[in-house]
């Protein structure tokens, strides 16, 4: 005999949606005006009661890429080139590209792609460096097929099915991509259908605690029974990203060595990134590494007294006309030495040690050893009697704390330090890698920063390279990966003195400098 089944109001609504053929969990949750994850508990309970079945599926969906969206909005580049071709007088590729780009707002790369398609389709050819259109019939065909592609894009956008052939072309041109989506579907069981048809599904308030106030109308409620036999879901244990763990440990080491942590902005004035470091505005040393410039009219504000000091020191030392306008422009900081400089300016004379661990940005081509953004650990030791030996000692001390046995030093060059040093450590696969650049800040730097005559040793350590050594990886991209499998394989055992002998990592103690 089937008995009555009690459901909460929400479970009852879910059940009636499912009985009406709405199986997609996302749609069900939309009907209820909540997020899918909010009804997971109800879904599990309904499934435990044998009323619904949960199906987990992977659905392939088409996604329009950034390029696809651009083409949908502006039209395919070949169409644009053809439609505006007559409006540009100079048909030489360079001039034509500029003209079309100006007229249409499409960037030059896209215009070039348009021209390539026109040539490939034989609607035009390049004669003596100019694009000359040919057979109008062929161009008409090209236009028609471009329009068709745009229509296909719009169909995909409206989630209308398109043919494999049509798709192939769009995928080749990277207008769409296939993304996999995990979807949950639920369907009614025969039991549910039977209960529903006999009107045995009842809605009640389901409570876990009976309060005295309910005593008089107990039949309004159902007290929920706990089913302790249901296995609890096993969640993967959550842990910090190994690279972040390593950075935390680095921070710990710095603090234990008596350093105070400071922070500075990612968007920085050229002034702090270069000028205070005595990197001449007209000198290639300024481009010792490439820099991302911020496309904006915004300018930094810097005290005029400080600017004046920078001007005086630059003009006296380098003999050129220093430009305050240039100094006020904004960049993505290319070195955290900007933060060290700010710290000296704020603290002035006296004795102190500060450090910062943070991201810097440089336009590099991404490969195993280079990334456009990476971490640096910059620090300074400031005081009247600080000297170069303190710097070498610091590097050795840090290496020792990290369990790195070999450090090799050679003289180096940096525009703002003299003397300068480059310290190398040995990576099992990559060989000797430079991770410890540093030096004594030049007197000019200290003068600009308002601490004339004070000594400071400074460094800017490549944290990522250090991490590659410590984490045993040989590709910098892995440090930023979100691929769980790759992350599982990345073992960070912690600092040498933090793990037990049984953990298997065998590190020796670094030798201290004499």
Comparison of 85 and 416: residue with beta carbon closer to ligand PHE:
416
Q: Which residue has the tokens 């704390």?
A: 401
Comparison of 50 and 419: residue with beta carbon closer to ligand PHE:
419
Residue nearest to ligand PHE (CB): 460
Comparison of 414 and 492: residue with beta carbon closer to ligand PHE:
414
Smallest gap from Cβ 291 to ligand PHE, in A, equals 11
Comparison of 96 and 449: residue with beta carbon closer to ligand PHE:
449
- Residue ranges of alpha helices (H) inside 198-277 are 242-256, 270-273
Smallest gap from Cβ 278 to ligand PHE, in A, equals 12
Comparison of 29 and 334: residue with beta carbon closer to ligand PHE:
334
Assign 360 to helix, strand or coil: strand
Bridge partners of residue 182, in order along the sequence = 58
Comparison of 49 and 465: residue with beta carbon closer to ligand PHE:
465
Which residues are within 8 A (CB) of 420 and not within 5 positions of it... i.e. 6 or more apart?
Answer: 411, 412, 413, 414, 437, 438, 439
Comparison of 287 and 511: residue with beta carbon closer to ligand PHE:
287
Comparison of 462 and 496: residue with beta carbon closer to ligand PHE:
462
First to last CA, the chain: 90
Tokens of residue 325, six digits: 């306008």
- Segment 5-64, which members bind ligand PHE (CB under 6 A)? none
- Segment 117-136, which members bind ligand PHE (CB under 6 A)? none
Smallest gap from Cβ 411 to ligand PHE, in A, equals 12
Burial per residue of 403-429, b for 16 or more beta-carbon CB atoms within 10 angstroms, e otherwise: bbeebebeebebbbbeebbbbbbebee
Comparison of 62 and 461: residue with beta carbon closer to ligand PHE:
461
Comparison of 185 and 442: residue with beta carbon closer to ligand PHE:
442
Smallest gap from Cβ 304 to ligand PHE, in A, equals 27
- Binds ligand PHE (CB under 6 A): choice among 438, 451, 465, 478: 438
Residue 439 interacts with ligand PHE (CB under 6 A)? yes
Residue 423 interacts with ligand PHE (CB under 6 A)? no
Residue 496 interacts with ligand PHE (CB under 6 A)? no
Smallest gap from Cβ 492 to ligand PHE, in A, equals 25
Q: 276: closest CA among 335, 362, 355, 364? A: 335
Smallest gap from Cβ 511 to ligand PHE, in A, equals 24
> Mind giving me the DSSP string for 425-480?
EEETTTEEEEEEEEEEEPHHHHHHTT-TT-EEEEEEEEHHHHHHHHHT-S-GGGGG
- Residue 282 sits at φ, ψ, to 5 deg, of -105, 15
Binding region for ligand PHE (CB under 6 A) out of 11-19, 185-193, 312-320, 452-460: 452-460
Smallest gap from Cβ 472 to ligand PHE, in A, equals 25
Assign 188 to helix, strand or coil: strand
- Alpha carbon distance 289, 136 (integer Å): 50
Comparison of 71 and 459: residue with beta carbon closer to ligand PHE:
459
Smallest gap from Cβ 417 to ligand PHE, in A, equals 5
- Binds ligand PHE (CB under 6 A): choice among 335, 356, 371, 469: 335
- Alpha carbon distance 282, 315 (integer Å): 11
- Residue 385 sits at φ, ψ, to 5 deg, of -110, 20
Q: Which residue has the tokens 């990290």?
A: 402
Binding region for ligand PHE (CB under 6 A) out of 92-100, 266-274, 435-443, 474-482: 435-443
391-394, long-range: CB < 8 A, 24+ apart: 391/421, 391/438, 391/439, 391/440, 391/457, 391/459, 392/421, 392/513, 393/513, 394/257, 394/457, 394/459
Residue 414 interacts with ligand PHE (CB under 6 A)? yes
Comparison of 275 and 378: residue with beta carbon closer to ligand PHE:
378
Residue 371 interacts with ligand PHE (CB under 6 A)? no
Q: Which residue has the tokens 């696809």?
A: 68
Tokens of residue 257, six digits: 């060595």
- Alpha carbon distance 228, 210 (integer Å): 20
- Binds ligand PHE (CB under 6 A): choice among 23, 71, 375, 459: 459
Residue 460 interacts with ligand PHE (CB under 6 A)? yes
Residue 469 interacts with ligand PHE (CB under 6 A)? no
Residue 104 interacts with ligand PHE (CB under 6 A)? no
Contact 457, 386 (CB under 8 A): yes
Instruction: Count interface residues toward ligand PHE (CB under 6 A).
Output: 11
Residue 458 interacts with ligand PHE (CB under 6 A)? yes
- Contact residues toward ligand PHE (CB under 6 A) are 335, 337, 378, 414, 417, 437-439, 458-460
């Amino acid at each position: 005999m089937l008995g009555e089944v009690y459901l909460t109001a929400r479970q009852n609504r879910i059940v009636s949606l499912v009985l009406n053929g709405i199986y997609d969990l996302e749609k069900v949750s939309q009907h209820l005006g909540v997020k899918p994850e909010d009804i997971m508990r109800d879904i599990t309970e309904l499934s435990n009661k044998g009323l619904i079945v949960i199906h987990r599926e992977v659905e392939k969906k088409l996604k329009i890429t950034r390029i696809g969206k651009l083409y949908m909005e502006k039209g395919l580049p070949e169409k644009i080139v053809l439609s505006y071709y007559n409006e540009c007088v100079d048909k030489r590729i360079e001039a034509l590209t500029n003209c079309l780009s100006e007229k249409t707002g499409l960037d030059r790369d896209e215009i070039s792609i348009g021209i390539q398609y026109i040539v490939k389709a034989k609607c035009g050819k390049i004669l003596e460096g100019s694009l000359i259109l040919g057979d109008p019939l062929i161009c008409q065909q090209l236009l028609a097929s471009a329009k068709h592609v745009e229509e296909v894009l719009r169909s995909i956008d409206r989630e209308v099915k398109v043919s494999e052939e049509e798709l192939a072309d769009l995928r080749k041109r990277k207008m769409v991509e296939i993304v996999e989506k995990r979807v949950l579907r639920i369907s009614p069981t025969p039991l549910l259908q039977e209960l529903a048809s006999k009107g045995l599904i009842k809605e009640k308030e389901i409570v876990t605690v009976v309060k005295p106030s309910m005593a008089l109308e107990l039949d309004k409620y159902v007290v929920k029974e706990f089913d302790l036999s249901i296995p609890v879901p096993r969640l993967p244990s959550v842990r910090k990203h190994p690279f972040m763990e390593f950075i935390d440990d680095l921070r710990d080491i710095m603090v234990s060595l008596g350093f105070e942590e400071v922070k500075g902005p990612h968007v920085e004035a050229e002034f702090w990134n270069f000028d205070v470091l005595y990197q001449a505005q007209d000198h290639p040393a300024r481009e010792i590494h490439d820099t991302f410039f911020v496309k904006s009219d915004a300018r930094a504000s810097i005290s005029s007294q400080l600017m004046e000091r920078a001007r005086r020191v630059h003009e006296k030392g380098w003999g050129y006309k220093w430009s305050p306008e240039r100094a006020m422009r904004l960049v993505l900081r290319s070195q955290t030495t900007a933060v060290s400089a700010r710290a000296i300016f704020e603290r002035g004379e006296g004795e102190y040690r500060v450090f910062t661990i943070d991201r810097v940005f440089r336009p590099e081509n991404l490969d195993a050893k280079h990334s456009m953004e990476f971490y640096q650990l910059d620090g300074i030791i400031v005081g009247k009697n600080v000297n170069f030996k303190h710097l070498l000692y610091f590097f050795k001390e840090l290496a020792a704390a990290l369990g790195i046995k070999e450090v090799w030093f050679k003289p180096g060059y940096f525009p703002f330090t003299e003397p300068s040093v480059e310290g190398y450590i040995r990576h099992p696969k990559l060989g000797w890698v430079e991770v410890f650049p540093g030096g004594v800040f030049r007197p000019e730097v200290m003068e600009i920063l308002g601490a004339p005559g004070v000594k400071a040793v400074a460094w800017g350590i490549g944290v990522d390279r250090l991490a590659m050594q410590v984490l045993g990886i040989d590709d910098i991209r892995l440090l930023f990966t979100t691929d769980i499998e790759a992350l599982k394989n990345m073992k960070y055992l912690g600092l040498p003195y933090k793990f037990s002998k049984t953990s298997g990592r065998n590190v020796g103690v670094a030798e201290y400098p004499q």
